[in-house]
Structure 1
């Protein structure tokens, strides 16, 4: 393969990687994105973005929705699997349903970086001036943006980590036929969220412009298929989604932030998004942390003035801690103790105040977070 070089190599073309490249557009740096997938590609994700994300990325929503799914969300149906549901309404759009295959390709196509798609990351070697990737690609600094299974993240964190901070998820997304739409009771503007009784995971149903997305995720769950089948049965018995219309489920994993310390920076290397383990510990939401960390990384890289040693990149780690909170001194079993989880499951989850202000407003929509201030 012909030799090639760049200043910044971003491994992973998802929202984090493309946002980092987009943030470097006017930096004068030569940016290259490497991804083993070709876009558009499927991505296991419930698929929603908040107004904070659209503002941060300067998305023209009217232009985007001309050729992409953009489902305004103003209501939610929430509850415990097997229990009663709570209906919550907002006076304005609080989120948008998107299809990741469309959203990721859109961000990648506008980011301004060169790309090498359909090429697997196979090897990484240190050189005098940076890195040699796959034996032919020279880079001064590498940004790991390849999600939970990012090879750059595994290189930086080689030791085996415990699995309690990892969420395993399964999801199916497909377009409903007119006949299937008639028997599906999920409403487009009202996603449905259902928590397991122990609150160690939750499941969802979204209908976005005729595309139904159904999924479930649990912390460190080895028997996820059994939990998925129980959820499917619940949806069928409740008359929400007949089990016969559901398509094949696909798997995914991501790491929750704040349960385990993780290296995110070293000499000429840093991690963003799911590669850094930044998913929200309460909801598992990862798009906003990916976008924010990508833009923070872009700011730090521009300030380095082509000197990417760890002392110049450590400001990125501090930005992560300031934005998302400190790491624990030692691993913790959960963001919430078991007794508190059970109490929440029995009591608070059934109240309208807690559902609106904490479960939705704080955990899922993160309305308490101020807009990210960039350098």
Structure 2
């Protein structure tokens, strides 16, 4: 049996960032993922300059042979009414393809990796965790997304009493004919809020790739809402009329909806496995990256991997993202005062859609980049 200091379950941005951040700590790290990389990943896929800064990514180098779509404007509206466009002047975000981005981050992680093998068992033996009967370590890190097997070891885990956000989306490379007829602009992602304010749809063009999707706070009539949104966008010429393939579904937890413990003896959860997606927008990439950087700091200095020694990670998450709402305060990401007849008027306001929806909820420009030693 191979021995490690920690085993990371999940090779996405959270897992690979943690492994990279622990380089030089003399800890032997193993990453395990059921997929081989590069792999297809359903995600709208945008990252702010803060993410690139925290990861010390040279955008010119990254964009030389990968999709990196600069974003300077946003088109925001409520379904059934005219949208507003706001020009931010400078680059405020980037569009990426997750298949490329995740592979890039994983390649930077210099540690042992086992890809293409699902986790079938995690069992405790003495002071160690044994994964698949093959590898053991005193610490197992859950970074495998909403259905991460490590999350099942803490609290209810996936399938418990959690309010899950359900989304469906498709991403494809447009043909020349589709690209010519598509009115969506790469520098201007489109966000369309459902009239009941329980979710939103999006159109995001990244170079010659187009991503279309819709997410809501539950599965109730999700396909109906999506089909209605897609039909409206086709009629308006925002997207091609001949979309290929079918929309893929996925689920995640918003920060204020999640009640999973973040740590236990020899266990720690990162990113979507911990339910860290931003409550206002559903973005999960930046929280995943930052949770990994915060965890790396704690793991480096922890005397052991008891829940008490790992609790500073939970404290750091609360300080960075705020305290989670109590269970009886659960609600969709929009504040209650927005869920009123005033919402339609607010979504027609350039000030509100720019300062609140875009800069605060989606870009988090009031939150400085998290600095960490990721080189």
Corresponding residue for residue 113 of structure 2:
115
Q: Which residue of 1 aligns with 2:322?
A: 325
Contact 2:190–2:202 (CA under 8 A) maintained in structure 1 = yes
Alignment of 1:10-159 (within 5 A): 10-158=8-156
The 5-angstrom pairing of residues 104-253 of structure 1 reads: 104-158=102-156, 160-164=159-163, 166-253=164-251
Equivalent residue number for residue 364 of structure 1: 362
Deviations 1:94-122 (A, max 9, x none): 00000000000000000112100001011
How far, CA to CA, are the matches of 1:89 and 1:362 in structure 2? 15
Q: 1:168, 1:221 within 8 Å by CA — same for their partners in 2?
A: yes
1:287 alignment partner, one of 285, 288, 298 = 285
Structure 1 unaligned blocks of 5 or more: none
| Residue 280 (structure 1) shift | 0.6
User: CA deviation digits over 1:244-289, x for unaligned, max 9?
Assistant: 2343211111000013422010001100000000001110000000
Rounded Cα–Cα distance in structure 2 between residues aligned with 1:84 and 1:94: 23
SS at match of 2:354: helix
Give the superposition deviation at 1:336.
Answer: 4.2
1:297 maps to 295
Do the aligned residues in 2 keep the contact of 1:74 with 1:91 (CA within 8 Å)? yes
Whether the 8 Å contact between 1:173 and 1:247 is mirrored in structure 2 is no
Q: Work out the CA distance in 2 between the residues paired with 1:131 and 1:313.
A: 16
Inter-partner Cα distance in structure 2 for 1:163 and 1:298: 27
- Distance in 1, matches of 2:309 and 2:372, equals 17
Task: Give 1:236 shift.
Answer: 1.2
Among residues 309, 312, 320, which one is paired with 2:309 in the alignment? 312
> How many positions carry a matched residue from both structures?
371
**Deviation of 1:43 (Å):** 1.2
Q: Quick check: 2:256–2:330 contact (8 Å CA) kept in 1?
A: no
Secondary structure in structure 2 of the residue aligned to 1:215: strand
Q: Please point out which of 321, 346, 351 is paired with 2:349.
A: 351
Greater shift, 155-164 or 206-215, is seen at 155-164
**CA 1:198–1:236: 2 relative to 1, 3 Å:** same
Contact 2:162 2:257 in 1 (8 A): no
Q: 1:257 touches 1:277 (CA, 8 Å); kept in 2?
A: yes
Mapped to 1, the partners of 2:326 and 2:91 lie a distance apart of 39
| Superposition deviation, residue 162 in structure 1 | 3.0
Q: Could you tell me how far 1:339 is from its partner in structure 2?
A: 5.9
Q: Distance in 1 between matches of 2:271 and 2:104?
A: 18
The answer on whether the counterparts of 2:205 and 2:211 sit within 8 Å (CA) in structure 1 is yes
CA 1:371 to 1:242, structure 2 compared with 1: closer, same or farther past 3 Å? closer
Q: CA RMSD in A?
A: 1.5
Q: Is the 8 A contact 1:198 1:345 kept in 2?
A: no
Q: Please state how far the C-alpha of 1:230 moved relative to its aligned partner.
A: 0.5
Q: Which moved more, 1:348-357 or 1:320-329?
A: 320-329
Helix, strand or coil: the match of 2:91?
Answer: coil
TM-score, with normalisation over the residues of structure 2?
A: 0.95
Kindly tell me: are residues 347 and 161 of structure 1, through their superposed partners in 2, closer, same or farther at Cα, counting changes over 3 Å?
Answer: farther
Partner of 1:151: helix, strand, or coil? Answer: coil
